[in-house]
Amino acid sequence: MGIKRRQYWGLIFVLPAVIFFALFSYLPMINSFIASFHSKDIISLKAPVFVGFKNYIHIFTSEDFINSIKATIIFAVGCFIPLVTISLLIATVIVSLRRIPWIQNLFKMIYYSPSIVSGVVSATIWLLIFDPRGLANQWLNFIAGNPTPVDFKWLALPAMARLATIIIYFWKYVGYFVIIYFAGLVSIPQSLYEVADIDGASGWKKFLSITIPLLKPTIEFVFIVAFIQCVRTFSIQYVFVQSGSPREPINVVSLNIYTTAMQYHSLGRSTAMSVSLFCFILIFTIVQLRIYRSERVSYV
Amino acid sequence: MRLLKVSTICWLMLACTLFVFAAGEQEKAAKPLQIVQWTHEDPNRTPLEEKWIAEFQSEYPNVRVVRETSPSGKIKEKVLTAFAAMKGPDIFNLEAEDEWQYIVSERVAPVDLEAVEYSSYEALRNEYLPVTFNGALYEGKVYGMPMEITNWCIYINNKYYREVGLDPAKDYPKTWEQMVTVAEKLTIREGEVIKRRGFDFRYPYYLAFFVPMANQLGGTVLTPDGKSAAVDSPAWIKLLRYMADWGPNGHNLGSPTYTNARKTFNRDDNSIAMCISGLYQYDRIKAENEAFLPEVSVVPYPRFEDAVNDNGAAVYGHYYMVNSSSSPEVQEWAWKLIKYFTSHEEEFLDQVGLIIPSKKLLQTDVYRNKKFADVFIEDMRKSNFIMTHESGPKIQDVIKEMVEGVMLSNIPPAEAARRGKQKIDDILGM
pLDDT score, position A264: 85
CB < 8 Å to A242, chain B: 73
pLDDT score, position A60: 95
CB < 8 Å to A234, chain B: none
Q: Does residue A83 lie within any of the structural domains?
A: yes
DSSP string, chain A: -HHHHHHHHHHHHHHHHHHHHIIIIIHHHHHHHHHTTEE-BTT--SPPEE-TTHHHHHHHH-HHHHHHHHHHHHHHHHHHHHHHHHHHHHHHHHHTTTTSHHHHHHHHHHHHGGGGS-HHHHHHHHHHHHSTTSHHHHHHHHHHT-SS-----TTTSHHHHHHHHHHHHHHHHHHHHHHHHHHHHHTS-HHHHHHHHHTT--HHHHIIIIIHHHTHHHHHHHHHHHHHHHHT--HHHHHHHHTT--SGGG--HHHHHHIIIIIS-BHHHHHHHHHHHHHHHHHHHHHHHHHHHTT-----
Amino acid residing at A22: A
* Chain center to CA of B153: 15
Contact B190 A148 (CB under 8 A): yes
pLDDT score, position A295: 62
Distance of alpha carbon B415 from alpha carbon B8, whole angstroms: 73
Q: Does residue A33 lie within any of the structural domains?
A: no
Please check whether residue A157 is in contact with residue B252, taking contact to mean a CB–CB distance below 8 angstroms: no
Parallel/antiparallel/unpaired status of strands B272-277 and B193-199: parallel
What percent of chain A shows pLDDT beyond 70?
A: 96
DSSP string, B243-287: HHHHSTTTT----TTS--HHHHHTTTSSSEEEEEE-THHHHHHHH
The enclosing H or E element of B417 equals helix B413-428
What lies within 8 Å, CB to CB, of B115 at 6+ separation is B332, B333, B335, B336, B339
Exposed/middle/buried for residue A260 (C-beta within 10 Å: 0-12, 13-18, 19+): buried
What percent of chain B shows pLDDT beyond 90?
A: 77
Model confidence at A298, in pLDDT bands (50, 70, 90)? low
pLDDT score, position B263: 86
Amino acid residing at B125: R
Per residue in B263-273, pLDDT (tens digit) is: 899 999 999 99
Please check whether residue B96 is in contact with residue B384, taking contact to mean a CB–CB distance below 8 angstroms: no
Contact A151 B427 (CB under 8 A): no
Which candidate from A41, A42, A247 shows the least CB-CB separation from B401?
A247
Which candidate from B84, B191, B255 shows the least CB-CB separation from A149?
B191
Q: Which range, of A3-17, B382-396, B400-414, averages the lowest pLDDT?
A: A3-17
Contact B408 A158 (CB under 8 A): yes
Please check whether residue B38 is in contact with residue B83, taking contact to mean a CB–CB distance below 8 angstroms: no
Q: Does residue A92 lie within any of the structural domains?
A: yes
Query: How far, CA to CA in Å, does B31 sit from each of A162, B36, B338?
Result: 54, 15, 22
pLDDT score, position A203: 87
The minimum CA-CA distance between B43 and chain A, rounded to whole Å, is 23
Checking if the pLDDT of A300 tops 60, the result is no
Query: How far, CA to CA in Å, does A145 sit from each of A148, B2, B77, B218?
Result: 9, 80, 45, 49
Which candidate from B193, B247, B404 shows the least CB-CB separation from A149?
B193
- Arithmetic mean of pLDDT over chain B: 91
* Chain center to CA of A167: 13
CB < 8 Å to B401, chain A: 247-248
Q: Hey, which CATH number is domain B31-150+317-381, 3.40.640.10, 2.102.10.10, 3.40.190.10, 3.30.930.10?
A: 3.40.190.10
Per residue in B314-347, pLDDT (tens digit) is: 999 999 999 999 999 999 999 999 999 999 999 9
Amino acid residing at B360: K
Parallel/antiparallel/unpaired status of strands B33-40 and B63-70: parallel
Q: Does residue A151 lie within any of the structural domains?
A: yes
Query: How far, CA to CA in Å, does B336 sit from each of B55, B65, B111, B322?
Result: 13, 12, 10, 11
Model confidence at A3, in pLDDT bands (50, 70, 90)? low
Q: Does residue A69 lie within any of the structural domains?
A: yes
Q: Does residue A51 lie within any of the structural domains?
A: no
Q: Does residue A197 lie within any of the structural domains?
A: yes
Closest-CA residue of A relative to B247 is A156
Please check whether residue A183 is in contact with residue A218, taking contact to mean a CB–CB distance below 8 angstroms: yes
The minimum CA-CA distance between A166 and chain B, rounded to whole Å, is 18
Closest-CA residue of B relative to A245 is B257
Contact B257 A156 (CB under 8 A): yes
Model confidence at A21, in pLDDT bands (50, 70, 90)? confident
DSSP summary character for residue B315: B
Q: Which range, of A56-65, A105-114, B9-18, B303-312, averages the lowest pLDDT?
A: B9-18
Checking if the pLDDT of B125 tops 90, the result is yes
Q: Does residue A209 lie within any of the structural domains?
A: yes
pLDDT score, position B420: 95
Model confidence at B12, in pLDDT bands (50, 70, 90)? low
- Domain range annotation of chain B: 31-150+317-381, 153-314+391-428
Q: Three-state DSSP class for B108?
A: strand
The domain that holds A100 is classified in CATH as: 1.10.3720.10
CB pairs under 8 A between A and B: 97
Q: Hey, which CATH number is domain B153-314+391-428, 3.30.2290.10, 3.40.50.150, 3.40.190.10, 3.40.50.450?
A: 3.40.190.10
What lies within 8 Å, CB to CB, of A21 at 6+ separation is none
Domain, as residue range, for A87: 64-293
Contact A146 B423 (CB under 8 A): no
Same topology between domain B31-150+317-381 and domain B153-314+391-428: yes
DSSP string, B178-232: HHHHHHHHH-EEETTEEEEEEE---TT-HHHHTHHHHHHTT--SB-TTSSSB-TT
Interface of B with A (CB under 8 A): 73, 77, 80-81, 83-84, 101-102, 105-107, 190-195, 203-204, 247-248, 252, 255-259, 393-394, 397, 400-401, 404-405, 407-409, 419, 422-423, 426-427, 430
Contact A244 B258 (CB under 8 A): yes
The minimum CA-CA distance between B407 and chain A, rounded to whole Å, is 9
Closest-CA residue of A relative to B405 is A246
ipTM score: 0.77
A246 at interface of B, judged by CB pairs closer than 8 A: yes
Per residue in B352-387, pLDDT (tens digit) is: 889 998 989 988 999 889 999 989 988 988 999 999
- Check residues A68 and B391 and name the one with the higher pLDDT: A68
A64 at interface of B, judged by CB pairs closer than 8 A: yes
pLDDT score, position B427: 86
Model confidence at B13, in pLDDT bands (50, 70, 90)? low
Distance of alpha carbon B364 from alpha carbon B375, whole angstroms: 17
Please check whether residue B262 is in contact with residue B186, taking contact to mean a CB–CB distance below 8 angstroms: no
- Check residues B304 and A289 and name the one with the higher pLDDT: B304
pLDDT score, position A297: 61
Distance of alpha carbon A62 from alpha carbon B423, whole angstroms: 10
Contact A137 B193 (CB under 8 A): yes
What lies within 8 Å, CB to CB, of B315 at 6+ separation is B131, B134, B149, B150, B151, B380, B383, B384, B385, B386
pLDDT score, position B22: 52
Contact A148 B255 (CB under 8 A): no
The minimum CA-CA distance between B123 and chain A, rounded to whole Å, is 30
Model confidence at A9, in pLDDT bands (50, 70, 90)? confident
The enclosing H or E element of B162 equals helix B158-163
Distance of alpha carbon B223 from alpha carbon B242, whole angstroms: 23
Per residue in B97-120, pLDDT (tens digit) is: 999 999 999 999 999 999 999 999
pLDDT score, position A132: 87
Please check whether residue A210 is in contact with residue A192, taking contact to mean a CB–CB distance below 8 angstroms: yes
Burial A233-246 (b: 16+ CB within 10 A, else e): bbbbbbbbbebbbb
A138 at interface of B, judged by CB pairs closer than 8 A: no
Per residue in A48-94, pLDDT (tens digit) is: 999 999 999 999 999 889 999 999 999 999 999 999 999 999 999 99
Distance of alpha carbon B21 from alpha carbon B197, whole angstroms: 60
What lies within 8 Å, CB to CB, of A43 at 6+ separation is A265, B80, B83, B84, B101, B102, B105, B107
The minimum CA-CA distance between A177 and chain B, rounded to whole Å, is 32
Q: Three-state DSSP class for B128?
A: strand
Per residue in B45-66, pLDDT (tens digit) is: 999 999 999 999 999 999 999 9
| Mean pLDDT across B112-138 | 94
Total count of domains within chain A: 1
Amino acid residing at A108: K
- Arithmetic mean of pLDDT over chain A: 91
Per residue in A93-140, pLDDT (tens digit) is: 999 888 888 999 999 999 999 999 988 899 999 999 999 889 999 999
CB < 8 Å to B248, chain A: 151, 153, 156
pLDDT score, position B101: 92
Q: Which residues pair with B319 in a beta bridge?
A: B146
Contact A146 B408 (CB under 8 A): no
Model confidence at A299, in pLDDT bands (50, 70, 90)? low
- Check residues A290 and B285 and name the one with the higher pLDDT: B285
